[in-house]
Amino acid sequence: MTDRYGEALSFLREARSISNLSELEARFAGLISQFGFEQTTCVLMAEPGRPIRPRVLFGLGDIAGRNQYISDGRQHYDPTFRAVFSATRAFTWTDVEPLAVSEEARDLFATARANGAEGLVVPIHGAYGEVSAVLLTGRDADVTDQARAVLQACSSMFAVAGVQLLELENDGPADPVLTRREAQVLTWLSRGKTAPEVAEILDISIGTTKTHLERAKAKLGHQATIPTILEAARRGWLIDPDDFR
């Protein structure tokens, strides 16, 4: 086993224990560089019950370029974007290039080829129906079957660990029991909002919203939502309306 595969195993073992998003990004960047990739981005593609609105979550490289891609609406004619929703395995730009039928789509691939870059896209389908992808790009990319399998596993771990760290950065304590985010979720639910509506308000995924709710239930000793909200209200642990964000 070469050093890069040993590094991949180490990353899979240790990623969830990394406590800082910047450190996680740097560690993952070091790993993918051994496979010839120079940039990486984790993008939330879509969530159930919400309009398809891609959003860059984190990563290293041309983040501004990714955001511009989304702002320009290029995902509407890029076959790479559409393929994420149906694919379960990592695929390359070369794999989907034959599906580029419009002039705009062909121009996207022509630009990539002019830069000598290849891309590897790792689709991630969440338990609650959300769809994300980790995008890797590089000029000396190794996209052999073995490399794809390893990078798919590591990219999936990168996405899971990164989303958790991203949430923790916005999850300061509201009190010794409930985190701030858990209290926010309960407060909005107490005001009649549904889980998808709460996710939209707090700008988090539906899956994350449900995770916060389940943790709050466990902490307050209830299995149902309404008793959990009532208990939080009784203890004075709901968030003031002026402090929702």
Q: What is the mean pLDDT of residues 37-61?
A: 84
**Global pTM?**
0.71
Q: How would DSSP label each residue in 80-136?
A: HHHHHHH--S-EEHHHHGGG--SHHHHHHHHHHHHTT-EEEEEEEE-TTS-EEEEEE
- Is the pLDDT at 242 greater than 60? The verdict is no
Percent of the chain predicted with pLDDT > 70: 91
Q: Measured between alpha carbons, how far is 17 from 211 in angstroms, rounded to an integer?
A: 19
Q: Are 29 and 112 in contact (CB under 8 A)?
A: no
- Is the pLDDT at 172 greater than 50? The verdict is yes
Amino acid 4: pLDDT: 93
Amino acid 174: pLDDT: 47
Task: Tell me whether residue 36 is exposed, middle or buried, using C-beta atoms within 10 angstroms of its C-beta: 0 to 12, 13 to 18, 19 or more.
Answer: middle
Q: What is the mean pLDDT of residues 38-64?
A: 83
Domains along the chain with CATH numbers: 3-169 (3.30.450.80), 180-243 (1.10.10.10)
Chain mean pLDDT for the chain: 87
Three-state secondary structure call for residue 137: strand
Percent of the chain predicted with pLDDT > 90: 50
Q: What is the mean pLDDT of residues 101-106?
A: 92
- Is the pLDDT at 186 greater than 60? The verdict is yes
**Which is higher by pLDDT, 179 or 103?**
103
Most confident among 19-23, 30-34, 172-176, 224-228 (mean pLDDT): 30-34
- pLDDT tens, 189-205? 999 999 999 988 988 88
Least confident window among 7-11, 179-183, 190-194: 179-183
- Is the pLDDT at 44 greater than 80? The verdict is yes
Q: What is the mean pLDDT of residues 74-101?
A: 93
